[in-house]
Amino acid sequence: MLLKADGQLSTLLDFRYRPHYHARDGQHGRGKNQVGRSAPDLILPVPRGTVVRDGESGEVIKDLTGENETFLVARGGKGGRGNARFATSVDQAPRRAEPGQLGESRWLLLELKLMADVGIIGFPNVGKSTLIAKVSAVRPKIADYPFTTLVPNLGVVSWRGHRPFVMADIPGIIEGAHRGAGLGLQFLRHVQRTFLLLHVLDLSSLNPRDPVEDYRVLNLELARFDPGLARKPQLVALNKIDDPEGRKRLPRVTADLKIIKKACYPISALTGEGLPELLGALTRHMEKGLKKGRTK
């Protein structure tokens, strides 16, 4: 039995409704000393980005990221020997045979992680969905209440003839997400595979919190979930500068973030202001990563 990565698939839903799979048996031996025909391999297609874990130990045994990449998860049984294999000069028609062996049987846990270059992170309602809708062809649900985005959205961004890259709108992360608060553990794993994080902060009057504190809290959540996330390259988009309060907050927030050496890009995802500068920066980081031979 093999698993095969298929870029045309996007969900593991089939395995939820059908958790058991059995390969076909081979054929019995036939007359004239003929062996039985072997059964065909059972190949199960899964989406690219599927992480395969052992069902008992939870250990990761394979990460299927390449298109058409295959992985052998269970070997078939070995066929037995018929009575002709035991014939001797004395006993030319022995009445014994060797039975075949059973194939392997195992439980696997399958987990899907998105394959994206840039992961957009931020608290709910900071404008992540509006941003990805503005710079790509994806059209996510957008509304003014928390957790509008209930599933990650993927969009392909192409900027002025440069190599296109895939951007993922990760559903809103809140304080305590590493423990499962909000949509927490459902989506934090998706940012593990991205090369670059785009942290969107809400500067508008609709955000009663301090944007700099939002930045600190969210990065702490990422680090608590996976310390490696805190080391990923990260750009900061200061969104909603079309709002008068957002324009007023901009100098102070920019100054505070520059103290910790974070590149900030003031934007309005609604009007498009500042997006050329942001997309140019994202493209440069992606191309720089490719030259260094980045891996996900």
Q: What is the pTM of this model?
A: 0.64
Specify whether the CB–CB gap between 230 and 178 falls below 8 A. Answer: no
Quick one: 67 and 134 in the same domain?
no
pLDDT of 119-130, one tens digit each?
A: 898 888 888 889
Greater confidence (56 vs 188) lies with 56
pLDDT at residue 95 in the model: 76
Residue 56 and residue 109: Cα distance in Å, rounded? 9
Residue 186 binned pLDDT confidence (cut-offs 50, 70, 90): low
Which of 97, 112, 127 is where one domain is finished?
112
Please tell me whether residue 178 adopts helix, strand or coil conformation.
helix
Do 277 and 250 fall into the same domain?
A: yes
Domain boundary among 78, 94, 112: 112
* Residues above pLDDT 90, as percent of the chain: 24
Residue 13 is part of which domain span? Answer: 1-112
Tokens 């295959």, residue?
70
The amino acid sitting at 236 is V
Average pLDDT in the chain: 81
pLDDT value at residue 149: 46
Handedness of CA 242, 243, 246, 248 (dihedral sign): positive
**224 and 199 together in one domain:** yes
- Total structural domains in the chain? 2
Maximum CA extent, the chain: 102
In a domain, 19, yes or no: yes
Amino acid at 268: S
Q: pLDDT (tens digit, 9 = 90+) per residue, 38-70?
A: 778 889 998 877 888 898 888 888 888 778 889
Q: Where does the pLDDT of residue 75 fall: very low under 50, low under 70, confident under 90, or very high at 90 and above?
A: confident
Residues 169 and 242 in one domain: yes
